[in-house]
Amino acid sequence: MAGQASAAKAGRNDPCPCGSGKKYKACCLRKAAVAAPRAAALLEQAQGHEDAGRLPQALALFRQLAALPGDALEKAEGHLGIARTLMAMDDERGAVPHLEAAAALRPFETAVVAAIASTLLRLGRPDSALSVARLGLRETPDSPDLLSLSGLALERLNRNDEAEPVLAKVIATAPRDARAASALARVYRWRKDNAAARRLLLATIGQVTSPPETVASLWNELGHVLDSLEDYDAAFKAFERSGAITLDTPKARAIDDTVADRRIAQEKAWITGGGLARIDRYPEADPRRLVFLVGFPRSGTTLTEQVMAAHSRVATSEEQPFLRDAMRALEARYGQGRPMGEILEAADRAALDEARSVFWRGVDAQSGRDHDVFVHKLPLSLTNIGTINGLFPSSRVILALRDPRDVCLSCFFQSFGLNRSMKKFLSWPTTVAFYAKVMGFWLDVRDRIDLPQIEVRYEDTVTDLPGQARRILDHLGVPWEDAVLAYYERTRKTFVNTPSYQAVRENVHTRATERWRNYPKAMEAALPVLRPYLDAFGYPLDGRSAP
């Protein structure tokens, strides 16, 4: 950092580099001497609490450390500690400014800045990651790590013309950089140069053997390229290989994905057992209309959300954990691990009001209050529909639907972040089985949910956007605005934190419909499981939508 570099050269009797007009010995040198022992003690205590899992105590001490005067490295350690602790406490949004502050204090430490930028990318903040990476590049302009991260961030922000030369420079000097190769392949694929993307990926796969997560991501990207080249058998094998590699990683093996199944079963048993009738209904304090956009992943929820977000009186969530935060507030009061149905039956008005307040505080922090309708989009919150009904009895529901065959293929093809549900998508059989479990749950409980609800079919949206948009806005209770038909103009100027981030920057198209026809072997294996859902949701075997 410039200030620290100047301080290192300043003599005791020289003017202080901070610009105070005092001599260095009477200003920052004295402050540093006083602060150093205290900073070291605070850092040691904070790290001790952090290592022992005492996160609130660690957070308090890291905050004290970050608040020390001056720009010492220990201050940056305080911000990093705050960020780590907040992420461990599931407050990723709160961690972002502290990561940025730490990078500003230590731009001369390439490894630290790269780690911060990488974390910001993982948190879905490519804008912040780009700023941090560029901060470090001012100090070390040829750093392959920082160049790679800046290229990744640019590609994630859909600034492909800027991303391509940066990523190409990285590959020229560091051909084993798998992250840069995957991002550059996506840029090539986006501009329809799939042959170049395939050459790049095959060359990189031939050189990179570890870590396995990186190798898996290369195979996944290759699958997308081969699909675009219409080499469908090879594409499916590439996706299978990617999933198999990921399943064999320690992280994947440590995830118990049966927890998701048990929670769905609990919610279903509670709803079908009449649980909703046993909940006390209290008025909701917040006057805004709340809508839950749910469905199986890859069913068109992002497209539907972006159409609604283009309306001047509607705000949307882009998969933020506001519902989860409200549920955790109830669990904190009534017992962690108890089924939410039991908790809702036991909850008094004060507890319900506080949980709702937690929800709306999260919304306000992200979106402010200048809207009449808030849309909470988190597809698999479908499996919490009874909880939603009990906690927010004045809310409304939009169920996103898409041909089950296309949905399952798209989920299997995506490289999601690993958790108990997304682990299901690492193999074709478990993907299909999970679809049946989730959508079977919906069919079993939908008539018991007393919230106003509509179904929005992806295929109808891409063939008749005006008609579907009008249905959706009527359900939201807001007047028509032409801006919703040009939703893609807004998305080109904003960041969309879902796997559909590139697709929703285009006008509606039908390229993603009936892709299942390209994979007849996979469909043959899946059809016995999916057939009931094709029938239930109006998708005939020949692929033509029901009238």
* 345-381 residue pLDDT tens: 999 999 999 999 999 999 998 899 999 999 999 999 9
pLDDT digits (tens, 9 = 90+) for 458-509: 999 999 999 999 999 999 999 999 999 999 886 555 554 555 444 444 555 5
DSSP codes of every residue in 318-341 = SS--HHHHHHHHHHHHH-TTS-HH
Within a 13 Å sphere around the CA of 467, how many CA atoms are in the beta-carbon half? 9
CB contact set of 174 (below 8 Å; sequence gap of 6+): 144, 148, 180
pLDDT the model gives residue 480: 97
DSSP-derived 3-state class of residue 453:
strand
Residue whose pair of structure tokens reads 């993603």 in the numeric block:
512
Which tokens go with 473? 């806005």
Which tokens go with 514? 């009936």
How far apart (Å, rounded) are the C-alpha atoms in residues 190 and 182? Answer: 12
The band of 306, judged by pLDDT with boundaries at 50, 70 and 90, is very high
Residue 539, pLDDT above cutoff 70: yes
Phi, psi angles (nearest 5°) of residue 539: -115, 95
pLDDT the model gives residue 68: 85
CB contact set of 70 (below 8 Å; sequence gap of 6+): 28, 31, 32, 35
Checking 337-341 for CB contacts under 8 A at 24+ apart, the result is 339/266, 339/267, 339/270, 340/266, 340/267, 340/270, 340/384, 340/386, 340/387, 341/266, 341/267, 341/270, 341/271, 341/275, 341/386, 341/387, 341/390
**Rama region for 397: left / alpha / beta (φ>0; ψ in -120 to 50; rest):** beta
pLDDT the model gives residue 14: 62
Within a 13 Å sphere around the CA of 132, how many CA atoms are in the beta-carbon half? 33
Residue 55, pLDDT above cutoff 60: yes
pLDDT the model gives residue 75: 86
Virtual CA dihedral for 136, 138, 144, 145, nearest 10 degrees? Answer: 10
Q: At what angle do helices 160-173 and 144-156 cross, to 10 degrees?
A: 150
pLDDT the model gives residue 7: 40
Residue 453, pLDDT above cutoff 80: yes
CB contact set of 111 (below 8 Å; sequence gap of 6+): 145
The band of 2, judged by pLDDT with boundaries at 50, 70 and 90, is very low
pLDDT digits (tens, 9 = 90+) for 140-150: 999 999 999 99
Residue 31, pLDDT above cutoff 60: no
The band of 10, judged by pLDDT with boundaries at 50, 70 and 90, is very low
Burial of 268 (0-12, 13-18, 19+ CB in 10 A): buried
Contact indicator for 329, 355 with CB cutoff of 8 Å: yes
pLDDT digits (tens, 9 = 90+) for 385-396: 999 999 999 999
CA of residue 250 relative to chain centroid, distance: 22
Q: Which 8-state DSSP code applies to residue 458? A: H
pLDDT the model gives residue 512: 73
Burial of 52 (0-12, 13-18, 19+ CB in 10 A): exposed
How far separated are the first and last CA of the chain, in Å rounded?
Answer: 66
pLDDT digits (tens, 9 = 90+) for 79-122: 999 999 999 987 888 899 999 999 999 898 899 999 999 999 98
- Summary mean pLDDT of the chain: 89
Contact indicator for 74, 68 with CB cutoff of 8 Å: yes
The band of 38, judged by pLDDT with boundaries at 50, 70 and 90, is confident
CB atoms within 10 A of CB 528: 9
Contact indicator for 398, 454 with CB cutoff of 8 Å: yes
pTM of the predicted structure, to 2 decimals: 0.82
Which tokens go with 297? 């992943």
Helix, strand, coil distribution of the chain in percent, nearest 5: 65, 5, 30
How confident is the model over 279-296, as a mean pLDDT?
94
How confident is the model over 519-540, as a mean pLDDT?
96
pLDDT digits (tens, 9 = 90+) for 235-263: 999 999 999 999 999 999 999 999 999 99
Kind of pairing between the strands at 453-457 and 396-401: parallel
pLDDT the model gives residue 297: 96
pLDDT the model gives residue 18: 54
The band of 15, judged by pLDDT with boundaries at 50, 70 and 90, is low
How far apart (Å, rounded) are the C-alpha atoms in residues 411 and 355? Answer: 32
The band of 6, judged by pLDDT with boundaries at 50, 70 and 90, is very low
How far apart (Å, rounded) are the C-alpha atoms in residues 169 and 166? Answer: 5
pLDDT the model gives residue 71: 65
Residue 547, pLDDT above cutoff 50: no
Within a 13 Å sphere around the CA of 325, how many CA atoms are in the beta-carbon half? 19
The band of 318, judged by pLDDT with boundaries at 50, 70 and 90, is confident
pLDDT the model gives residue 21: 64
The band of 25, judged by pLDDT with boundaries at 50, 70 and 90, is very low
How confident is the model over 171-175, as a mean pLDDT?
91
Length reported for the chain: 547
CA distances from 440 to 132, 286, 435, 530 (A): 45, 33, 8, 10
The band of 224, judged by pLDDT with boundaries at 50, 70 and 90, is very high
